[in-house]
Amino acid sequence: MKIADLKIEPEVFLAPMAGVSDYPYRQLVREMGVELIYTEMVSSKGYEYGNKRTAELIEFDKGENGKIAVQIFGEEPEFMARAAEGISTEYNIDIIDINMGCPARKIVKNGAGSALMKDPGLAFEIIKATVNSAEVPVTVKMRSGWDEDNINAVEIAKISEAAGAAAVAVHGRTRSQFYKGQADWDIIKNVVDSVKIPVIANGDIFSAKDAEEIFNETGCDGIMIGRAAQGYPWIFKEIIEFLNTGRLIDAPSNKEKIEMALRHLELAVDYYGEKHGIPIMRKHISWYLKGMPNAGVIKNKVNQLAKKDKLISFLSEYKKEL
141 with 281, same domain? Answer: no
Q: 46 with 256: CB under 8 angstroms?
A: no
- The residue annotated as part of the active site, out of 14, 32, 100, 102, is 102
Was 171 annotated as part of a binding site?
A: yes
Sequential pLDDT tens for the chain (322 residues): 999 999 999 999 999 999 999 999 999 999 999 999 999 999 999 999 987 778 778 866 555 678 999 999 999 999 999 999 999 999 889 999 999 999 999 999 999 999 999 999 999 999 999 999 999 999 999 999 999 999 999 999 999 999 999 999 999 999 999 999 999 999 999 999 999 999 999 999 999 999 999 999 999 999 999 999 999 999 999 999 999 999 999 999 999 999 999 999 999 999 999 999 999 999 999 999 999 999 999 999 999 999 999 999 999 999 999 9
Q: How many domains does the chain have?
A: 2
165 with 195, same domain? Answer: yes
- Told to judge if 220 belongs to the known catalytic residues of this protein, a careful annotator would answer no
Residue where a domain stops, chosen among 245, 269, 284: 245
238 with 259, same domain? Answer: no
Was 18 annotated as part of a binding site?
A: yes
Indicate which CATH number applies to the domain containing 284. 1.10.1200.80
Indicate which CATH number applies to the domain containing 131. 3.20.20.70
**Element spanning 54, H or E:** helix 52-58
Pairing status of strand 6-7 against strand 2-3: antiparallel
125 with 10, same domain? Answer: yes
Was 17 annotated as part of a binding site?
A: yes
d(CA 118, CA 89): 31
The boundaries of the domain holding residue 305 are 254-321
The predicted model scores a pTM of: 0.95
27 with 171, same domain? Answer: yes
